[in-house]
Amino acid sequence: MSGYAVVENPSAELWNSFLKMFPEMNFEQCFEYGEISKMAYPRTKVARLSITYNGEPVGIVQGTYSSYFGFGMTLRVMRGPIVNTGTKENFRLVGSLLKELEDYSKRRRIIHAQISVPDSWQLQEVFRKMSYTSADETNEYVVNLQEGMQKLWKSIDHNKRRNIKKAVKEGVEIVQSRSHEDLKAFYSMVEASVERRGYSPYPRSWFEAIWKIYKPELSKVFLAYWKGKSVSGVFIVVRGKTVYALGAGSLTKGWEVRPNDIMHWKVMEWAYENGYSKYHMGLVDEPPPTEESCAWGIWRWKREWNGSLIRIQKFDKILLPKYKLILQAEKFAVRGYKGIRRLK
């Protein structure tokens, strides 16, 4: 492509200057996300590519992967590639970035690629032509704050409003913090939630890395206190106009006063007052298979906020087929390690 050039490992300044063109931003594609991943997970490496046109960036893609036995395992890309050209050119540039990413991966003996993008980007045909398979899909749950808290209050479920009023009446207090002690308190509540629900959260090292690398004013913990003790917590980061709830947890001893509802409501209030337009509440299945499943309760709790579902499509491709058995061995070893940890 005349005038175009591929840049490996571009500078943080070039990378984030490109992302500033997108008001919604994208936490998983910002430069700091890669650095956080490397600090939190010692075996993690970061792949970054940019396409420039006459020296100006017009597209980027960032992924992370773990390295074992001299091979890269799964290169994971979330909400990328991102391009910024005319509509007709976008699909061609995305295809070019994917091709460059594959070449980059093969030079580093990365076996597998897994790329997740919103359906609304309409990139399905590009991935199909590049021989990716549609592996899975999920939903992100996002609450729109643009129309103000008064309108949001009227739109949320009656049960949610009742729970928030109850928490206020019972004296639940919400505080925001950057102290290390409060980070530990937050993560102890995450661990308590994991015990009850059995999901896999980010490790504490992930949140520690965010506090060391990300701008202090753009990441913090909100804690709900009742009778002088913290009973619920959420960890947030900000990117562009979006506030991301990256982790949340609670203690059962506070459930009777509904601290989770008022905590997230207060975070939304804080976000709106500080000029942010969206509150990203993570992933949610739509709908869970049975009302008896734990996922059903989470699904119903999130849907009461009257937010929007953003469908995410996951695409897979084996880049080095003859080494596929190494990838399977790594997955088996990781499952075994996690099983041992649960027994401790």
Domain residue ranges in the chain: 4-137+313-343, 146-276
| 13-17, Cβ contacts within 8 angstroms, sequence gap of 24 or more | 14/50, 14/57, 15/48, 15/50, 15/57, 15/60, 17/57
Q: Is the pLDDT of residue 135 over 90?
A: no
Of the listed ranges 31-40, 47-56, 194-203, 256-265, the one predicted with least confidence: 194-203
CA atoms of 17 and 4, how far apart (whole Å) = 18
> Taking all residues of the chain, what is their mean pLDDT, rounded to a whole number?
89
**pLDDT score recorded for residue 4:** 87
What is the Cα 127 distance to its own chain's centre? 22
Instruction: Copy the structure tokens of residue 83.
Output: 């391009």
Q: Are 305 and 142 in contact (CB under 8 A)?
A: no
> 146-276 belongs to which CATH class?
alpha beta
**pLDDT score recorded for residue 86:** 60
Topology match between the domains 4-137+313-343 and 146-276? yes
**pLDDT score recorded for residue 34:** 97
How buried is 340 (Cβ within 10 angstroms: 0-12 exposed, 13-18 middle, 19+ buried)?
Answer: exposed
C-alpha closest to that of 44 among 17, 76, 84 = 76
Q: Is the pLDDT of residue 290 over 70?
A: no
Q: Are 161 and 305 in contact (CB under 8 A)?
A: no
CA atoms of 286 and 289, how far apart (whole Å) = 9
User: In CATH, what is the architecture of 4-137+313-343?
Assistant: 3-Layer(aba) Sandwich (3.40)
302 versus 244: the higher-pLDDT residue is 244
For 178-202, give one letter per residue: b (16+ CB within 10 A) or e.
eeeebbebbbebbeebeeeeeeebb
Q: Give the pTM.
A: 0.90
Q: Is the pLDDT of residue 340 over 50?
A: no
